[in-house]
Amino acid sequence: MCGIAGAMSRDGSPVAPDLLARLAAALGHRGPDGQGTHQRDDVGLAHARLAIIDLQGGHQPLFAGDDLALVANGEIYNYRELRAEMPGEPYRTLSDCEPPLYLYRRRGLAFTDALRGMYAIALHDARAGRLVLARDPFGIKPLYYAETDRLFAFASEPAALVAAGIVPPKVAEAPREELLNLQFTTGAATIFPGILRVLPGETLVVERGRIVDRRRLSALPPPRTGPAVRRESVAVQAFDQLFAETVELHQRSDVPYGMFLSGGVDSSAVLAMMARLNPQPVLAFTAGFPETGVPDEREHARAVARAAGAEHVEVAVTEKDFWDHLPAIAACMDDPAADYAVVPTWLLAREARKSVTVILSGEGGDELFGGYGRYRHAMRPWPFAKPMRRKGTFDGLNVLRQPPGAWRDGFARAEAAAAGQKWRTRLQAAQALDIADWLPNDLLTKLDRCLMAHGMEGRVPFLDVALAAFAFPLPDRLKVRRGHGKWLLREWLRRTLPASQPFTPKRGFTVPVGEWIARHGAMLGPMVVAQPGVVELVDPEAGRHLFTSGDKRARFAAWTLLFYALWYRRHVLGRMPEGDVFATLTAAP
């Protein structure tokens, strides 16, 4: 995992070296193991490296012939197989990111069809005079771009485009409404006007500083032409084989790796398979919240780790940790997601970095195997079905100066697109909807930024195109049965690691941010509602009341405003965190 950036001028002039230097400097935390640049004709590329595979020889940019140059962020897990399929190519390194150069030479823009991994790739084809950007189908690795009257620029993080002076630090109204009410933003538009996402699975072709072509590779399979797996026993066996394959691929690394264990079904499944595949004990990290009113999963995770023979590291996340580190956590989320799970994720990564460089995590299990309770609501027949995310965070609270309006428009467009595939069941449409936006723009953004803040790589073995091709078309009854989501995954885990108790009802994962905020609400509320970026949005009296309310929705709204206030200070005002939450909020804007 690394950071990439670059630019292509519109008038054919060389890209200024100082622009590349500013982009690379802004991404330095993503690549502590070295930097590299490429400049030729009207294109410049920059790379900040976190060394994972081919530690000595895998420096980037990578080259093929005298016309192709590439920088990449991520991992191509099937690189060994790709090299074996192209044995005659003059490879210069053992890097997993070198085969895409030769795939491009052979297949053109279809080169991504053969890739199995997570990636954001920038490739300069000097002979064709074009720049090619490509992002993996699930959007595991981030990639952003901006077009100005002078150039086309791209980077792994929007903050780099702002820091380089390409785009000013302003806030777009519609994505801001989405963030406040959905906790993430949708589609290509980011919260920064003029900065767009390369969509999951998208390949862009840029010539003379303008996008001239687009191609999209779906994470989900097309309608089946043959019979889907329907028998329970066959499905469990097929999953076992595929999951073993994908976890083995995700363990390919020349540096130490471990995993995040919550004790839930998804992370327990990852641990079970890692334990089978590794001769040494797996290093598993679990977060818990002592002396709070929320469930502490450490005891159960401890039992699961013991049964799997894992080495278990427990991280106690305290109220002091929350106040001390939240400014830095919000600062790392430049593409913001007001998901309170950023807190334990960031703190787990800080601890894990002392031992490992790579972490495997369970994101994607719910989306592929039908785990969320909202899916079961969506499966109900009309008129009993409930649309997902039908109520925004601030709906009915009478806190915002302008009532929430168009916050659901982007989500509704994705909703219509997911349901527009008539062959899909209601469950599959709900899964596809989450895979389109919630997964890449919340869960995967959180994992990427929180780990990269500590120079770590996060891997998600459930989000594998081969596993998705198996899981998504499964009949609904193999996903949801007797009130249990992820039925197939639970059944496999029951057979594989019984101590995980996959059919025992679990209390949902919760971070006690509302509890912590309420203890200091009388002091914190006035600080937050007076902050730049918040003061113009919120009625002061109603906003202050959020921070002392015992209502669950009000407390989540208070968390959202606190996160947004800290984010705004860092990414719009350009102020670095100054101590804990209280010191940061009372510092001069």
Binding site for L-glutamine, by residue number, is: 96
Per DSSP, 281 falls in state P
CA distances from 55 to 3, 98, 458 (A): 16, 14, 18
Active-site residue, from 2, 97, 332, 450: 2
In this structure, what token pair is assigned to residue 189? 């538009």
Annotated binding site for ATP: 361-362
Burial of 140 (C-beta count, 10 Å sphere; 0-12/13-18/19+) = buried
How would you classify the pairing of strands 68-76 and 151-155?
unpaired
25 sits in which H/E element: helix 17-26
- The C-alpha atoms of residue 549 and residue 211 are separated, in whole angstroms, by 49
User: Nearest 5°: CA angle at 227, between 225 and 233?
Assistant: 150
CA neighbours closer than 13 Å in the CB half-sphere of residue 390? 7
CA end-to-end distance (rounded Å), the chain: 34
How far apart are alpha carbons 451 and 477 in whole angstroms? 36
**CA 54 → CA 46, 58, 222, 277, 357, distances in Å?**
19, 5, 36, 22, 14
Residue appearing with tokens 């083995």: 248
Cis before 61? omega within 30: yes
Going by C-alpha positions, the residue among 325, 344, 346, 321 that lies closest to residue 584 is: 325
Best CA proximity match to 547, nearest among 529, 568, 572: 529
Give the amino acid at 114: A
The answer to whether residues 364 and 136 touch, using CB atoms and an 8 Å cutoff, is no
* Residue 332 is among the residues annotated as catalytic for this protein: no
Annotated binding-site ranges:
96, 361-362
Contact 145, 154 (CB under 8 A): yes
- 247 near 274, Cβ under 8 Å? yes
User: Quick one: the chain helix, strand, coil %, rounded to 5?
Assistant: 40, 15, 40
Q: Which residues are catalytic?
A: 2
